Amino acid sequence: MRAEEENNEMRVLLVGLDTGENSEFEHSMEELKSLAEAAGKKVTGIMVQHMAKVNQSFYIGTGKVEEVREYAAQCEAAEVVFDNALSPAQVRNLGRELKLPVSDRTNLILDIFALRARTREARLQVETARLQYFLPRLVGMRENLSRQGGAGGSMSSKGAGETKLELDRRKIEHRISELKKELEDISRTRETMRKKRSQSRIPKVALVGYTNAGKSTIMNQLVNRYGESRSKTVLEKDMLFATLDTNVRCIRREGRHGENRPFFLVDTVGFINHLPHDLVKAFRSTLEEIKYADLLVHVVDFSDEHYRQQMQVTDETLEELGAGGIPRVIVYNKADKSALEDIPRRRDRQIYMAASQGLGVEELTELIEECVYTDRVETEMLLPYDKGNIVSYFMDNATVLEQEYRGEGVWLKVSCHKNDADKYCEYCACL
């Protein structure tokens, strides 16, 4: 069975251009190989050119184009994938010279998202991003797609001609418009749900970080231990972009003194270097869950030697989303694979842990609670018996320290959010 799968994998040749500006070029090529494999492709060769600047017509030098064509034939590659985003003209020119489908890092990421999308919202978002990517590249992409035997749908089966191109362009633009309307409807539903969660005063905590850093593993550990629905775990797999859908779970851990400190935990799509702009735009409504969080938990793969660069990419993406100023804690995950001892280890708002081993889960939960419940106050209230809804609210959203049934009503001593104490101050009964 495995042999059949390998035979069905598209064989690709990876091509990189090192201009000397990227000190992490080798790592970028390794990441490109991982992306190709995540997209279900088999890498049969890698070529690199060292050149001072990008060739505007072919990305690589004209002489190198001939070498790529010969090497592609030698390693039986059915597609050539370049390490950076190609312009529409470069795609067209390279496709004509190489006589093979030409792709780039952006298209590779879009392919992975298309494979991973599970919910209707994710599929609509990916389709929108892919069409926006294809639109300016329509001429070159059709030539490439036609060489793949009609793969890619109706766009590849059209005949040549400027009139036909214009019809295709209009068709794509119309489809993008339809998709955006559907996504707006879903976004309104998401906004309604978000407002309901906000009304509950339960803090929102978002897991963010580079793809495959372990965000889903951390969420599953917290859900299994403290989740209100222990069965609602998320997909957890050692691969790039295993999770695309935004998942929200309520975490409620009973403290040592009976404290009730619940929080909503949000798992989001991971980031990566050169994350396609169209993809960020298409997933903006989903990623906005991050922007409305009270706390960000930045998960870092501490075992990766390039983790500092990955942290920088995450910081830049958060700034782009308008979430750069949200308070955060740093989780150095997979610390068991490093030389670090005494795991878990906590230092201020940083924690070193190994989520897959369950090391540091309780400590992380305590750290999150400390951060999101800094605005808590203790107060006493006397609530009339006909205000049972308010009593229930404090039972669900506060820590009830003491409770008595008196003649006038229910007396509560609670640790609650300051806004809740102010809202119900008329029932304050500091006796």
- What does the pLDDT read at residue 151? 40
Q: How far apart are CA 236 and CA 214, in angstroms?
A: 8
DSSP E strands in 64-158: the ranges are 79-82, 102-104
pTM (predicted TM-score): 0.74
Supply 39's token pair.
Answer: 């997209």
Q: Identify how many contiguous H helices and E strands the chain contains and give both numbers.
A: 15, 14
User: From CA 296, how far away is CA 289, in angstroms rounded?
Assistant: 11
216 near 244, Cβ under 8 Å? no
pLDDT at 256: 58
Q: How far apart are CA 281 and CA 288, in angstroms?
A: 11
Strands 79-82 and 204-209, sheet pairing: unpaired
Given a contact cutoff of 8 angstroms between Cβ atoms, the answer to whether 137 and 107 are in contact is: no
Among 346, 319, 312, CA closest to 331: 346
CB burial of 18-57 (b: ≥16 within 10 Å; e: otherwise) equals: eeeeeeebebbbebbbbbbbbbebbbbbbbebeeeebbee
Burial class (CB in 10 A: 0-12, 13-18, 19+), 136: middle
Q: Shortest CA distance to 145 belongs to which of 132, 133, 134, 161?
A: 134
| pLDDT by 10-residue block (mean), the chain, 431 residues | 54 95 89 91 95 94 95 95 92 93 91 83 87 78 47 42 71 92 86 72 88 91 82 60 75 70 86 79 74 92 93 91 91 91 91 95 94 85 92 82 90 84 84 46
Q: How far is CA 173 from CA 91, 95, 113, 177, in A?
A: 21, 24, 21, 6
Q: Which pLDDT belongs to residue 312?
A: 93
